[in-house]
Amino acid sequence: MEALRVWQMTCTRIPTDAGEFQLCLYRTNWDEKEHLALICGEIRGGENVLVRVHSECFTGDVIGSRRCDCGEQLKHSIELVAAEGQGVIIYLRQEGRGIGLLNKLRAYNLQDEGYDTVDANLMLGHEADERDYTVAAHILRELDVRSIKLLTNNPGKIESLTALGIPVTGRLSLLPSINQDNAAYLTTKAERMRHLLDPAKLQPTQPRRNGEAPWFLPAISPGPSPENRPFVTLSYAQSLNGAITVRRGENTVLSNNQSMALTHRLRAAHQAILVGIGTALADDPRLTTRLVPGQNPQPVVVDSALRLSPAARLMAEPPLPWIAATEDASRENEAALTAAGARVIRLPATAEGKVALPALLRWLKNAGIDSLMVEGGAAIITSFLAERLVDRLVVTISPQIMNGLNVIQATLPSLPRLEARHSQWLGDDIIWWGDVQWAER
Spatial distance between the Cα atoms of 88 and 77, rounded to a whole number of angstroms: 9
266 class by beta-carbon count within 10 Å (0-12 exposed, 13-18 middle, 19+ buried): buried
Same domain membership, residue 223 and residue 170: no
Is residue 1 a part of any domain in this protein?
no
At 200, the pLDDT band (50, 70, 90 cuts) reads low
Q: Is the pLDDT of residue 217 over 70?
A: no
Of residues 317, 332, 364, the one with CA closest to residue 345: 364
Structural domains in the chain (count): 2
pLDDT digit string, tens, across residues 363-418: 999 999 999 999 988 899 999 999 999 999 999 999 889 888 888 878 888 878 88
On whether both 105 and 139 belong to a single domain, the answer is: yes
- Going by pLDDT thresholds of 50, 70 and 90, the confidence category of residue 306 is very high
Percent of the chain with pLDDT over 90: 61
Q: Are residues 234 and 86 in the same domain?
A: no
For the entire predicted model, the pTM comes to: 0.56
pLDDT score recorded for residue 434: 86
- One domain, residues 257 and 307: yes
On whether the CB atoms of residues 38 and 49 are closer than 8 A, the answer is no
Please provide the size of the chain in residues: 441
Sign of CA dihedral 36, 40, 45, 51: negative
Same domain, 272 and 205: no
State whether 177 and 44 are in the same domain.
yes
CATH of the domain at 343: 3.40.430.10
Q: Does some domain include residue 295?
A: yes
Same domain, 157 and 244: no
Q: Is the pLDDT of residue 212 over 80?
A: no
Cis peptide before 19 (omega within 30 of 0): no
- CA 169 to chain centroid: 22
Query: How far is it, in rounded angstroms, from Cα 56 to Cα 372?
Result: 40
State the pLDDT at residue 201: 59
Phi, psi values for residue 33, rounded to 5°: -90, 160
Best CA proximity match to 327, nearest among 301, 356, 299: 356
C-alpha 234 chain-centroid distance: 14
Mean pLDDT computed over every residue of the chain: 88
pLDDT of 253-297, one tens digit each? Answer: 788 877 888 888 899 999 999 999 999 998 899 999 887 778 899
Instruction: State the Cα torsion 219-220-226-230 to the nearest 10°.
Output: -150
Asked whether residue 215 carries a pLDDT value surpassing 50, the answer given is no
Query: Is residue 251, in this structure, part of any structural domain at all?
Result: yes
Looking at the DSSP bridge assignments, the partners of residue 50 are 87, 149
- 183 with 233, same domain: the answer is no
Domain's final residue, options 190, 209, 228: 209
- Which of 20-34, 76-90, 414-428 comes out lowest in average pLDDT? 414-428
For the stretch 93-145, pLDDT in tens is: 999 999 999 999 999 999 888 888 999 999 999 999 999 999 999 999 999 99
Instruction: Give per-residue pLDDT as tens, 327-361.
Output: 999 999 999 999 999 999 999 999 999 999 999 99
Residues 179 and 267 in one domain: no
Q: What is the CATH number of the domain that holds 110?
A: 3.40.50.10990
Model confidence at 419: pLDDT above 60:
yes
- For residues 248 and 203, membership in a common domain is answered with no
Half-sphere exposure of 33 (CA within 13 A, CB side): 14
Confidence band of 81 (pLDDT split at 50, 70, 90): very high
DSSP 321: P
Range of the domain at 308: 218-440
Beta bridge partners of 394: 235, 433
CA dist 243 and 68 (Å) reads 38
**Which residues are known to be catalytic?**
129, 131
Give 224's DSSP letter: P
